[in-house]
Amino acid sequence: MTPSGAPSLALAVGIGAAVSLLCARWRQPAVLPLLLTGIALGPGGLGLVDGVSLGAGLDALIAIAIGLLVFEGGLHLDREELGRAPRAVRGLLTVGALAMWIGASLAAWLIAGLHWSGAVVLGAALIVTGPTVVQPILRRVRLKPALHTALSAEAVLVDPIGVLATVFALDVVLGYLRGQEASGGEMVWKIAQPVLAGALAGVLAGVGARAAAGWLTRRSHPDPKQLSLFAAAACMLSVGAGEAMAEEAGLVAAAIGAIILANTKFPGASELKQFMEQVSTILVGMLFVLLASGFDTRSLMDVDWRHGAFVGVLVLIVRPIGVALATRGSSLGGRERVFAALTAPRGIVAASVAALVAAQFESVGGAMVVAESETGGTETNAALGAILVEQGRAIEQLMLLTIVVTVTLASVFSGPLGSALRVRVTAPTGVVIIGMHALGRAFARALAGAGVPVRVADSNPGRIADAREAGLRAFQGDATDLRWLEDTAIDSSVGWLVAWTGNADVERVLLRWGQSRFGAGHARSWGDMSAGADSRRGSMVGQALERVIDRVEAGELEVVVSPLGGAGEGGVPLAWITDGAASFSGPPQRSGKGPSEGLDQTKTKVVSIRERGLG
């Protein structure tokens, strides 16, 4: 019995959510299990789910869902996040994407044996990576900030580029084969129209969402339900306006609108992101099950060495060359570039684009065969039509194989590879400091100068101005407003909280919240950090914070950064730093029990406070 649309959709949502839940509990990416589940439930397996039964509704569902997934990913790309690796991000979206298109097309033509038409379109489709796969891996495998930014931004922003490139290549190739060649101007307009329309729609939707966010949060904290409705409205208006202006402009609009909203600080932003992440998880599960259900498992019998060689060349040659060219001269180090070169799993966008391409090739090819048989013309077009039908099946087959292999490799080896290359950290390494008096500023500058991500907060506008003048990332507000602190002064890089306010009641609230937010021992007050001083040193540090601040302002004390063991006579260590990772309880450990994994303690520096003129 062939399953109908409603049961197929309901089962896809329910089973997809269940599989995603189990994978989250086991801390494993859900893409591969979802693919296998969809195949098992499809007509070639148990026959419970059939995405084809949704008809044209499946295409609309895919378009809306992918727009929402891109929007959710874009919410994490604020100015600070993108600023960690701007050159690498630009390179991956331009040089890297072009290198993948060319390299994958050549590999598909020369190795997999595709007709040139299918090879060019498949190469364009393989540009995408996708936040649906990359983001879960980045949440499980914490990487150095610049590398995290490069992979996260590429996953979100390369999707619209890949989709537009695929649609452009498909239109040009099919037009040429049908004798409907476009002029140069028409070809330029084909690619420019959705970009321009999407950019306009995204800017309008983003600016509108920014104004709406300000209105919602102007007088009080918004209700979480209102934020959820606001998020859904902002996303769907971006996608809908883009698609209304030009076909395939929705993804561009979603990405731009989300980035504009990501750079808007407002109470409740974290809840908004959490809601969008939950919706994205449900959509990913549903879409993978629906798309995988339509895969013909019998085609796996046709897989031979050429298919394996194609995927191998894609993973081991094409991607590394593209990353090497794209990240040359960027802030990424050699080991980070190697990790990026070996990490490019494909996800739901690649699967849906391949399904679209396959359907178009089979439709056009079938029509050419039928037309020739009815008119009794030459067999040339009939033969070409048969080739197109076969190319559609081959493209879907190669894409599924690529998804399975790249997702498996990323899921299994990303953790060990990150550890081996020493680009992995077991916890966020950044610090947020509450209290921007003279001591707080000196300490923040010392940490930032040693490579630690630092954010500072204070309610005093004069202190915030001084901190910003010192080059610090500073936020003005009431730190006891924990929702403001979470949404405004904290980001994913922060793993420590230092509260130096001089107010015992305020510090008690902050320390309790910090211990819960960042983990036991990751929230420190002045008393905590000076308690380790011996009796001789305690005469200098073991006194009221206000007195120490006065002595720093008077020039009697100074905060210095020295190699491990070189803090100087009379100096009291406040923090230890290795490879940009801070610790406030002792030097980071190699065992993985410290804040960073695999660190070289010979590179450890100590931030200490001491009498001026010593050392």
- The 3-state DSSP class for residue 472 equals coil
**pLDDT, greater one: 201 or 538:** 201
Residues 230 and 126 in one domain: yes
Residue that is last in its domain, among 374, 395, 421: 421
- Across 99-108, 185-194, 425-434, 486-495, the highest mean pLDDT is recorded for 99-108
- pLDDT exceeds 80 at position 442: yes
Among 416-430, 561-575, 587-601, the least confident range? 587-601
Residue keyed to tokens 């992995």? 424
- pLDDT exceeds 80 at position 503: yes
Provide the pLDDT confidence category of residue 595 given band limits of 50, 70 and 90: very low
Residues 412 and 451 in one domain: no
- pLDDT exceeds 80 at position 312: yes
Decide if 198 contacts 253 (C-beta within 8 A): yes
- Across 50-64, 165-179, 439-453, 581-595, the highest mean pLDDT is recorded for 439-453
Q: What is the average pLDDT across 441-469? A: 91
Residues 468 and 346 in one domain: no
Q: What is the pLDDT of residue 280?
A: 83
Q: Which of 75, 95, 256, 62 is nearest to 152 (CA)?
A: 75
Provide the pLDDT confidence category of residue 420 given band limits of 50, 70 and 90: very high
Among 85-89, 271-275, 496-500, the least confident range? 271-275
- pLDDT exceeds 80 at position 113: yes
Cα–Cα distance, 344 to 262 (Å, whole number):
24
How does pLDDT run across 332-365, given as a tens digit for each residue?
A: 989 999 999 998 888 778 888 888 888 888 777 7
Give percent above pLDDT 90 in the chain: 23
Q: What is the average pLDDT across 570-597? A: 65
Q: How many CB atoms lie within 10 A of CB 544?
A: 11
Give percent above pLDDT 70 in the chain: 87
Q: What is the pLDDT of residue 13?
A: 92
Residues 226 and 105 in one domain: yes
The domain that holds 601 is classified in CATH as: 3.40.50.720
Cα–Cα distance, 577 to 566 (Å, whole number):
13
Give the list of residues 6+ apart from residue 133 with CB closer than 8 angstroms, or none. 29, 31, 155, 345, 346, 347, 348, 407, 410
Q: What is the pLDDT of residue 530?
A: 54
- pLDDT exceeds 80 at position 586: no
- The 3-state DSSP class for residue 559 equals strand
Q: What is the pLDDT of residue 537?
A: 43
- pLDDT exceeds 70 at position 114: yes
Among 183-187, 312-316, 454-458, the least confident range? 183-187
Residues 407 and 494 in one domain: no
Provide the pLDDT confidence category of residue 536 given band limits of 50, 70 and 90: very low
Residues 544 and 468 in one domain: yes
Q: What is the pLDDT of residue 94?
A: 93
Would you put residue 451 in left (φ > 0), alpha (ψ -120 to 50) or beta?
left
Residues 416 and 538 in one domain: no
Q: What is the pLDDT of residue 588?
A: 56
Residues 171 and 78 in one domain: yes
Q: What is the pLDDT of residue 533?
A: 47
Residues 78 and 203 in one domain: yes
The domain that holds 404 is classified in CATH as: 1.20.1530.20
How does pLDDT run across 421-441, given as a tens digit for each residue?
A: 988 876 777 899 999 999 999
- pLDDT exceeds 60 at position 207: yes
Residues 383 and 468 in one domain: no
**pLDDT, greater one: 610 or 223:** 610
Cα–Cα distance, 551 to 548 (Å, whole number):
5
Provide the pLDDT confidence category of residue 567 given band limits of 50, 70 and 90: very low
How does pLDDT run across 467-490, given as a tens digit for each residue?
A: 999 889 888 888 888 877 887 778
Order of strands, edge to edge, in the sheet holding 557-563? 557-563, 605-611, 572-578, 581-583
What residues make up the domain containing 160? 5-49+58-421
Residue keyed to tokens 């006579």? 569
Q: What is the pLDDT of residue 592?
A: 42
Residue that is last in its domain, among 397, 421, 445: 421
Among 350-354, 492-496, 593-597, the least confident range? 593-597
Residue that is last in its domain, among 396, 421, 446: 421
Provide the pLDDT confidence category of residue 591 given band limits of 50, 70 and 90: very low
DSSP state of 424: B
Q: What is the pLDDT of residue 482?
A: 83
Residues 477 and 502 in one domain: yes
Residues 329 and 443 in one domain: no
Helix/strand/coil (H, E, C) string of 136-188? Answer: HHHHHCCECHHHHHHHHHHHHHHHHHHHHHHHHHHHHHHHHHCCCCCCHHHHH
Number of domains in the chain: 2
Q: What is the average pLDDT across 15-24? A: 90
- The 3-state DSSP class for residue 195 equals helix
How does pLDDT run across 222-274, given as a tens digit for each residue?
A: 676 777 788 888 889 999 999 899 888 888 999 999 999 888 877 777 778 87
- pLDDT exceeds 60 at position 375: no
Q: What is the pLDDT of residue 225?
A: 73
Q: What is the pTM of this model?
A: 0.75
Among 89-103, 121-135, 320-334, 589-603, the least confident range? 589-603
Helix/strand/coil (H, E, C) string of 40-92? Answer: HHCCCCCCCCCHHHHCHHHHHHHHHHHHHHHHHHHCCCCHHHHCCCHHHHHHH
- pLDDT exceeds 90 at position 92: yes
Q: What is the pLDDT of residue 426?
A: 67
Q: What is the average pLDDT across 366-370? A: 72
Q: What is the pLDDT of residue 112?
A: 92
Decide if 102 contacts 123 (C-beta within 8 A): yes
**pLDDT, greater one: 595 or 164:** 164
**pLDDT, greater one: 107 or 517:** 107
Mean pLDDT of the residues in the chain: 82
Decide if 319 contacts 379 (C-beta within 8 A): no
For residue 414, the number of C-alpha atoms closer than 13 Å in the C-beta half-sphere is 28
Provide the pLDDT confidence category of residue 220 given band limits of 50, 70 and 90: low
